[in-house]
Amino acid sequence: MTKYKPFDRNLYALADEKGKGVVSYLLEKEGHNITSTKENYKCDIVTEKDGTVYNSEVEIKFSWKEIWPDSWEEIRIPYRKKKLLDKENLTFYVLRADCKQAWKIDADVLRNKATVKEASNRYVRKGEKFFHIPVKHALLIDMV
* Domain spans of the chain, in order of start: 9-142
Q: Residue 40: what are its φ and ψ, rounded to 5°?
A: -140, 15
pLDDT of residue 40: 77
Beta bridge partners of 93: 58, 104
Helices and strands per DSSP (H, E), number in the chain: 2, 9
Q: Which residue has the higher pLDDT, 13 or 43?
A: 43
Does the structure show a pLDDT above 60 at 2?
no
pLDDT of residue 144: 72
Sign of CA dihedral 85, 40, 11, 122: negative
Number of residues written out for the chain: 144
What percent of the chain lies above the pLDDT cut of 90?
Answer: 75
Q: Please give the biggest Cα pair distance in the chain.
A: 44
Q: Which residue has the higher pLDDT, 11 or 107?
A: 107
The CATH architecture that domain 9-142 belongs to is 3-Layer(aba) Sandwich (3.40)
Does the structure show a pLDDT above 80 at 124?
no
The string of pLDDT tens digits covering residues 62-92 is 999 999 999 999 999 999 999 999 999 999 9
pLDDT average, residue stretch 22-38: 96
